[in-house]
């Protein structure tokens, strides 16, 4: 037998009439809630319907959240109670440290933390930054944590509480994340924010040359890493650089007899002397690399050689069967 004591049998909840969930007379798919969860939610409906904001209501929200950390209505009501009662939000933040560790994938946990930080508004968010870095160790690609990190820096920058040193240290931390896992697309997105897109980034005096060199080195380390290829494209488009000066650094990835005659001669450019791939490449590198072939095709489109680009997109349809339909679409676009 269960040792659970229904809330109606607890003196603390005297005077409250629970409101059962109304699924209608013939629910199509009735959800099998546990007795404890059903009981807690019945009392929560009664409490929220009356607008009660009390210690017992606060305790009830924690009980429900521990059973269902994704219940956004309960989270919202909990925040309203905290503010109404004037609770110490630092204590709540400590509780969220526990919740976040146990529920890293829950958007509601991170949104609640965002609201807490908005109201607490510390003079420096450094402790929170450190917490986020630690939270990413077990799950370095957790979208909700990265989104929260973006918000934190943007919000506290607006308040004037992100120092130049904090930006520099964050850049070093991001570099380390990419050193450990160059395929971490979230870290690449964060690098773009820190280097290119963040408020008052100041631009790059070298027109992105340093970033292009960094990205090419990453590509040469993991040639099939689509994150680095996308970052390279973004850099070239952001700084209005043509694609063709980059091609010499990518030649080893284009090793295929059908491509050799289509590779254009590189023009003179300030982007010369870029890091090149190892030649020959390690024997276990599958060639040609589809990302490089696509880069070649886009270079030819940029140069107006649409017929040659169409031939390459057709070849991509053979090399990358998973996206054959997309490559056919690109080929037809060249013929229009």
Which of 186, 249, 165, 170 lies closest to 214, judged by CA? 249
Q: Tell me the C-alpha distance between 276 and 250, whole Å.
A: 7
Q: Tell me the C-alpha distance between 221 and 282, whole Å.
A: 11
Both tokens of 76, joined, read 């919202």
Query: Counting Cβ atoms within 10 Å, is residue 278 exposed (0-12), middle (13-18) or buried (19+)?
Result: exposed
Both tokens of 26, joined, read 């013939």
Active site residue 315: no
Q: Tell me the C-alpha distance between 68 and 24, whole Å.
A: 23
264's CB contacts (< 8 A; 6+ apart) are: 244, 247, 299, 300, 303, 305
Count CB-CB contacts under 10 A for residue 139.
12
Catalytic-labelled residue, pool 53, 87, 105, 260: 105
Q: Tell me the C-alpha distance between 263 and 293, whole Å.
A: 10
Kindly report each contact of residues 92-101 with a partner whose C-beta sits within 8 Å and lies 24 or more positions away, as own/partner.
Answer: 92/116, 93/117, 93/120, 95/62, 97/131, 99/65, 99/69, 100/135, 101/135
Catalytic residue IDs: 105
């Amino acid at each position: 037998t269960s040792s659970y004591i229904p809330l109606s049998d607890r003196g603390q909840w005297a005077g409250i009439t629970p409101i059962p969930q109304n699924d209608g007379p013939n629910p199509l798919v009735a959800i099998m809630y546990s007795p404890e969860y059903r009981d807690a939610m019945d009392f929560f409906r009664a409490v929220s319907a009356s607008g009660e904001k009390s210690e017992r209501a606060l305790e009830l929200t924690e009980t429900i959240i521990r059973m269902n950390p994704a219940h956004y209505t309960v989270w919202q009501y909990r925040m309203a109670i905290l503010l109404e009662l004037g609770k110490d939000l630092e204590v709540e933040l400590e509780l969220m440290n526990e919740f976040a560790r146990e529920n890293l994938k829950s958007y509601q946990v991170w949104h609640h933390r965002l609201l807490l930080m908005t109201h607490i508004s510390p003079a420096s968010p450094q402790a929170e930054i450190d917490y986020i870095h630690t939270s990413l160790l077990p799950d370095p690609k957790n979208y909700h944590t990265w989104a929260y990190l973006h918000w934190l820096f943007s919000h506290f920058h607006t308040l004037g509480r992100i120092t130049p040193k904090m930006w520099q240290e964050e850049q070093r931390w991001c570099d380390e994340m990419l050193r450990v896992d160059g395929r971490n697309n979230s870290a690449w997105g964060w690098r773009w924010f820190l280097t290119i897109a963040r408020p008052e980034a100041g631009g790059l005096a070298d027109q992105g040359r340093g970033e292009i060199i960094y990205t090419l080195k990453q590509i040469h380390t993991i040639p099939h890493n689509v994150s680095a290829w996308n970052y390279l494209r973004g850099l070239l488009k952001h700084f209005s650089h043509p694609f063709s000066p980059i091609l010499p650094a990518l030649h080893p990835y284009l090793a295929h007899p059908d491509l050799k005659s289509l590779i254009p001669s590189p023009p003179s450019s300030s982007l010369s002397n870029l890091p090149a791939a190892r030649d020959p490449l390690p024997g276990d590198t599958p060639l040609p690399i589809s990302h490089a072939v696509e880069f070649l095709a886009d270079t030819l489109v940029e140069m107006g050689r649409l017929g040659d680009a169409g031939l390459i997109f057709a070849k991509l349809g053979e090399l990358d069967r998973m996206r054959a339909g997309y490559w056919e679409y690109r080929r037809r676009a060249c013929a229009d």
